[in-house]
Structure 1
């Protein structure tokens, strides 16, 4: 069954104008492009969406614009994670008002709270709105893990419904999936098929910014029973996954470099991020062309 939040979700970049302002027209065009090419969900203001450097007002404006562009053709998950519980709850309420279908919430970062405090943080945010929560487990960025035992307890809350998994702990993911009804989404592109094969609901993909149809095709093949074909399609995308997410540059930077080359809305990144240099951009284009043909 297709999960309520979708199956092929894109961790969408946030387009900016050349002067660095929020590009709402560009965001609408990019969102429409991604949905038309296979994404049934969009995650806004996440890691790839440069959430640390966009204002609260920009987050709401972006969400409203994308909602207008895609209507009901795709779900919209709004990133609201901050290191402050009260601020996170405030962003959650604003996202609900702006039209989000669900909320993406990280563990509170920098302060590195213990697990009982992490659990309390999520429960407080879950009580702030009527929207479902996607818990975002990405300890490499937050500095704190959402431990499996914490996830097992949080799964009892009726609005905590899903996990975006960037833990790189495949055993823990399967443990939680086997003991709860939480919908798991692979947050690392290299794990999309592997996690899906053991029962995940889908993926939240950075690479889908530039090849949404290829990301979806892997899951389509698996659903059709063509597991060998799904594996072959996944392996074909590995060089692009590596180039975009594992070659020393953040996925935001690499996605924007390729989108610019494709003539799609992207714009610059905001400091402290810096754009891809010429050598890196040329390398990304070469890998993309190898997969799809000339830009």
Structure 2
């Protein structure tokens, strides 16, 4: 699969392993890439929400993209998030990522500034025009406070501006509208780890699962079961993953945000599995405690991932 084709299958948004002093741990990052590609994923997405892209400096973002693309060597497509507040800043990130070897760009609508739908439309058109690269829209209203309307997405797709969408909006009616009316070669990818079987049954092309860092093989199995029409097996695998995904709730909400709890749990899981060396999260996120990490291990054992 390349970006000349429609993106399909499992495209995990990579965690960014960090050293205890907060630098990119490139050796652990390479092991994470091998963990994912060895499980048979169809692509990789760096510098998304799960990557802690919002916390990384420009230098760190470049290091992540260069490390992953060099190691993959074109074996699978690499998408890079170009996520920032305004179009000029996003264009800077996009050009850097493409120079570092990324095959396509993933971008949200502008945020912080108040925007009109016409300005969102212009934002994506300028990204495609100025970079000449495939652009995927990232629908993430919980972070950017703007929901991409199906009409906007479909118009941009029809004009060849967008190569696809990562839908993390939670709007299943809107997702179905986009699936039903999409144009050829436009990829619809769900960002929900918990509803992959349902999204694929609706006609989505694949999934971008944060928990796919921890259990990529599970998501690969779901996609294969759905492709074969074995919906019972897909449902059983989805339910196993839903149970294991409960690790994101082990960080106490009395002392940390939901982001710290989720990213911290993913990183502790990867450390427990021997994939990365440290579970360090970027400042000012709060790390999981020893007791919370023990409960993460219990979930992994119950899911058959840790012995």
When normalised by structure 2's length, the TM-score is 0.91
In the TM superposition, residue 200 of structure 1 has moved relative to its aligned partner by 0.8
Pick from 253, 275, 279: which aligns with 2:264? 253
Contact 2:124–2:161 at 8 Å: present in 1 too?
Answer: no
Find the partner of 1:140 among 142, 154, 160: 142
2:21 is the alignment partner of 1:19: yes
Q: 1:174 aligns to what SS in structure 2?
A: helix
The count of residues paired between Structure 1 and Structure 2 equals 295
Shift of 1:199: 1.1
Query: Aligned residue for 1:232?
Result: 236
Give unmatched runs, 5+ long, in structure 1.
none
CA RMSD of aligned residues (A): 1.9
CA contact (8 A) 2:7 2:187 kept: no
**CA–CA separation in structure 1 for the residues paired with 2:182 and 2:305:** 43
Structure 2: state its 5+ residue gaps: none
Deviation, 1:104, is 0.8
Partner residue, 1:155: 157
**Distance in 2 of aligned mates of 1:219 and 1:81:** 28
Deviation at 1:161, TM superposition (A): 1.2
How does 1:206-285 map onto structure 2 within 5 Å? 206-244=210-248, 249-250=258-259, 251-265=262-276, 266-285=278-297
Q: Is contact 1:20–1:267 with CA below 8 Å preserved after alignment? A: no
Q: What's the CA shift string for 1:260-286, capped at 9, x where partnerless? A: 111211540011211112232222211
TM-score by length of 1: 0.94
Mapping for residues 169-184 of structure 1, pairs under 5 Å: 169-181=171-183, 182-184=186-188
- Give distance in 1, aligned partners of 2:249 and 2:91: 30
Deviation at 1:246, TM superposition (A): 9.2
2:299 aligns with: 287
Take 2:47 and 2:125, find their aligned partners in 1: how far apart are those partners? Answer: 21
Q: Which residue of 2 aligns with 1:127?
A: 129
What is the distance in 1 between the residues matched to 2:25 and 2:149?
Answer: 37
Q: Which residue number in structure 2 is paired with residue 192 of structure 1?
A: 196
Following TM superposition, by how much is the alpha carbon of 1:245 offset from its aligned partner in structure 2, in angstroms? 6.7
1:68-87 aligned at under 5 Å gives the runs 68-87=70-89
Post-superposition offset of 1:38: 2.0
SS of 1:184's equivalent in the other structure is strand
Q: Is the 8 A contact 1:112 1:144 kept in 2?
A: no
Map of 2:66 onto structure 1:
64
Would you say the 8 A contact 1:131–1:159 is kept in 2?
no
Equivalent position SS for 1:34: helix
